[in-house]
A and B are shown apart, each in its own frame.
Chain A
Amino acid sequence: MFENVLGKKKYIPLTPSSKADPSALSGNQKTCPVCIRLKSGQQSFAAERVCPACKYHFPMSAWERIDHLTDPQSFEELDKDLVSINILDFPGYDEKLKAAAKNSGLKEAIICGKAMIGGYQTILAVMDSSFMMGSMGSVVGEKVCRAAEKAMELRIPLIIITASGGARMQEGMISLMQMAKTSAVLKKFHQSGLLYISILTNPTTGGVSASFASLADIIIAEPGALVGFTGPRVIAQTMGQKLPAGFQCSEFLLEHGQADLIAERSELKHILQCILKLYQGGSHA
């Protein structure tokens, strides 16, 4: 058990090209881009979306993650009717929102709720990059804040699973200010003595990485996830810099002291359970 918690497990290194481009991965993808083998028939692949041969972590929808992590029938969704509006009359935003809702089956890029994980009460917020790249506008910012406030009210820990390309440009500065808003609420959250765990998945960049994703007591990353502030393409283009192998993937993050541990999907629930137990339910104050 502790071997897992301390992150001593061996991971098969992934080729940078397979991780660097999250947009190339669709939810229905069945061929592993790393070993190019069809594995859809296998049990572990279907349930956890991990290639059994190379441990490649496929994108997972928010609802798949909720099913995967929470105790059966324990999830109660909160603030589910919050939807975005085109505040700035930004050209094409209404259509983009409609298309995103239709394609993802979601109302926004985050689902929040009260859930049991291994018998512990938590507030769980899960982002979904299939809704406008998981970008943060007013609704994502507001739902993160409300999730933290609900956790403070109930005095239970907060767990946020991030997947986001950053602030949503169609809401202009109002999007950018969501970084300040979520950070301000998390300041109160930490002052209240509660536990906040963030789980970084592919991709977590821009405004989300530079706000609530980075402000947790414990930061866990999924193997091979792209995590950083400025995206790799922008860095390569603007600086004319050749990027080192494995740049901005979870293993890079761990190596540079930016994450506490890397957890494979198959062991994530167990690790969360261990942490919640060690932190006495995460409401020690």
Chain B
Amino acid sequence: MLKKYFDYENNYEKLQDKIKELKKLSEQLDYNLDGEIEKLERQMENIRHSKYRNLSPWEKVLLSRHPERPVVREYIDFLLDDFIEFHGDRLYGDDKAVIAGVGSFEGHALTVLAHQKGKGTNEKIAHHFGMPHPEGYRKVERLLLQSEKFKRPVLNLIDTPGAFPGVGAEERGQASSIARVLMTLSDLKVPVISIVTGEGGSGGALALGVCDRLFMLANSVFSVISAEACASIIFKETEKTQEMAAALKLTAQDLFELGIADGIIPEPVGGAHLDFDATALNIAECIRKNLQELTTVDMNRLLTERYNKIRSIGQYTESISNF
């Protein structure tokens, strides 16, 4: 039996095995156990639903990083026809942590820019666990400008622990490569939709998160810092990780309430990995609806609204009496 990520997944699997056993037994003995089986199945569904409804922020972090969670390449293959991947920043190299390309979404050409984490150890290493180097961000910038030239809407898919922490990345200007993408996206003259499919880690994720509409899968997270790092900086201990996951307000639901995410894309019970097609169809519906709305908006209005949304983020007071 495959080792599951969560305890509740193990319990669930045990129940499932028991049901299978009962079914077999009922056949062998030619004895009707339908009532018992039905009861167990109902019980199982209840466990699943109630557990799933009450996931803690930390459990959502774990779910967003689940080893079986679909990666962006799978969504790209499902959502787009004739997808062609384009490589390289024309300056230094090609970053495997970023997939960039053009494909057809239900007959409309889209530029897709996405963090690719990879699945399984070898693939993960090849894609640097989805952590881009400067050349990745420069590839993004290059294709953003090309999108503008060809008036092609942009779809960003976010799934990264953050920008790559390494000597080479710093030597080649990690900070400025991210900053330039943020600036370019703020005024890019085509509609931009961003979707967090898994983990949105810090500035390395935000580079693909400046957009007209930001959506998050129901079990995705987006955070200024990982809960683990936050706990170790503030408390010098990792036991506070779960507490920090809650304090950082990093879940899709938190960020929707804060007005940072514009919508939540539902996932099947138990998470995206349990029903890929259902998840991908939900994403498709979201893209279809929003693309239709955004492409009919006048470009000046689109840019003004994008700007105003970004410009208005932040809360503070301006009274002298505080001090």
Please indicate the chain A residues that have their CB under 8 angstroms from the CB of B158 in the complex.
none
Within the complex, what minimum Cβ distance (angstroms) separates A99 from chain B? 13
Contact with A along B203-216 (1 / 0, CB 8 A): 10010011000000
- Which of A101, A213, A230 interacts with B163 by CB under 8 Å? A230
Within the complex, what minimum Cβ distance (angstroms) separates A77 from chain B? 13
Within the complex, what minimum Cβ distance (angstroms) separates B288 from chain A? 26
Q: Is the CB of A228 within 8 A of B174?
A: yes
Interface residues of A in 142-180 (CB under 8 A from B): 142, 145, 167-169, 171-180
Given A210-B178, A230-B165, residue A184 in contact with residue B258 (CB < 8 A): no
Q: Is the CB of A258 within 8 A of B173?
A: yes
A11 interface contact, C-beta 8 A? no
Q: Is the CB of A173 within 8 A of B224?
A: yes
Interface residues of B in 125-177 (CB under 8 A from A): 163, 165-167, 169-176
B234 interface contact, C-beta 8 A? yes
Within the complex, what minimum Cβ distance (angstroms) separates A24 from chain B? 17
Please indicate the chain B residues that have their CB under 8 angstroms from the CB of A181 in the complex.
310-311, 313-314
- Which of B163, B180, B243 interacts with A229 by CB under 8 Å? B163
Q: Is the CB of A183 within 8 A of B179?
A: yes
A34 interface contact, C-beta 8 A? no
CA separation between A83 and B209, bound complex, in Å? 27
Interface residues of B in 283-323 (CB under 8 A from A): 307, 310-311, 313-320, 322-323
B100 interface contact, C-beta 8 A? no
A218 interface contact, C-beta 8 A? no
A116 interface contact, C-beta 8 A? no
Q: Is the CB of A88 within 8 A of B249?
A: yes
A10 interface contact, C-beta 8 A? no
Interface residues of B in 239-297 (CB under 8 A from A): 243, 247-250, 255, 258, 260
Query: Quick one: which of A88, A138, A183, A227 has the most chain B CB within 10 A?
Result: A183
Please indicate the chain B residues that have their CB under 8 angstroms from the CB of A82 in the complex.
316-318
Q: Is the CB of B167 within 8 A of A247?
A: yes
Q: Is the CB of A87 within 8 A of B187?
A: no
B84 interface contact, C-beta 8 A? no
Interface residues of A in 208-248 (CB under 8 A from B): 209-215, 227-230, 234-235, 238-239, 241, 243-244, 247-248
Contact with B along A175-207 (1 / 0, CB 8 A): 111111101111110010000000000000111
Please indicate the chain B residues that have their CB under 8 angstroms from the CB of A178 in the complex.
313-314
Contact with B along A121-139 (1 / 0, CB 8 A): 0000000000000000111
Please indicate the chain A residues that have their CB under 8 angstroms from the CB of B323 in the complex.
83, 101, 107
What's the interface size class on B, roughly? 35 or more
What's the interface size class on A, roughly? 35 or more
Within the complex, what minimum Cβ distance (angstroms) separates B92 from chain A? 12
Chain A residue at minimal CB-CB distance from B205: A176
CA separation between A89 and B172, bound complex, in Å? 38
- Which of A185, A230, A243 interacts with B311 by CB under 8 Å? A185
A41 interface contact, C-beta 8 A? no
A141 interface contact, C-beta 8 A? yes
Within the complex, what minimum Cβ distance (angstroms) separates B233 from chain A? 7
B225 interface contact, C-beta 8 A? yes
CA separation between A192 and B258, bound complex, in Å? 32
Interface residues of B in 94-126 (CB under 8 A from A): none
Please indicate the chain B residues that have their CB under 8 angstroms from the CB of A215 in the complex.
176, 179-180, 183
Q: Is the CB of B186 within 8 A of A173?
A: no
Contact with B along A70-94 (1 / 0, CB 8 A): 0000000001011111011111100
Q: Is the CB of B310 within 8 A of A235?
A: no
Please indicate the chain A residues that have their CB under 8 angstroms from the CB of B195 in the complex.
none
Q: Is the CB of A235 within 8 A of B165?
A: yes
Q: Is the CB of A81 within 8 A of B318?
A: yes
Please indicate the chain A residues that have their CB under 8 angstroms from the CB of B166 in the complex.
230, 235, 239, 241
CA separation between A209 and B222, bound complex, in Å? 20
Q: Is the CB of B224 within 8 A of A167?
A: yes
- Which of B233, B258, B311 interacts with A173 by CB under 8 Å? B258
Given A92-B234, A183-B182, A234-B165, residue A173 in contact with residue B260 (CB < 8 A): yes
Q: Is the CB of B315 within 8 A of A138?
A: yes
CA separation between A207 and B162, bound complex, in Å? 12
Chain A residue at minimal CB-CB distance from B320: A81
Please indicate the chain A residues that have their CB under 8 angstroms from the CB of B250 in the complex.
172-173
Q: Is the CB of B315 within 8 A of A87?
A: yes
Within the complex, what minimum Cβ distance (angstroms) separates B117 from chain A? 16
Within the complex, what minimum Cβ distance (angstroms) separates B244 from chain A? 9
Given A81-B319, A169-B225, A181-B311, residue A186 in contact with residue B183 (CB < 8 A): yes
Chain A residue at minimal CB-CB distance from B137: A210
Given A256-B173, A258-B176, residue A174 in contact with residue B203 (CB < 8 A): no
Q: Is the CB of B167 within 8 A of A244?
A: yes
Please indicate the chain B residues that have their CB under 8 angstroms from the CB of A174 in the complex.
258, 260, 313-315
Chain B residue at minimal CB-CB distance from A108: B316
CA separation between A213 and B182, bound complex, in Å? 13
B202 interface contact, C-beta 8 A? yes
Q: Is the CB of B179 within 8 A of A211?
A: yes
* 6 A-B contact pairs sorted by A residue (CB < 8 Å): A83-B318, A141-B313, A169-B224, A169-B234, A184-B307, A185-B311
Further 6 A-B residue pairs, CB within 8 A, beyond A179-B203, A181-B314: A90-B248, A172-B247, A180-B206, A184-B186, A230-B174, A241-B167
Per CB-CB distance, the 7 closest pairs between chain A and chain B, nearest first, are A138-B314, A184-B186, A183-B182, A214-B176, A209-B175, A229-B174, A230-B165
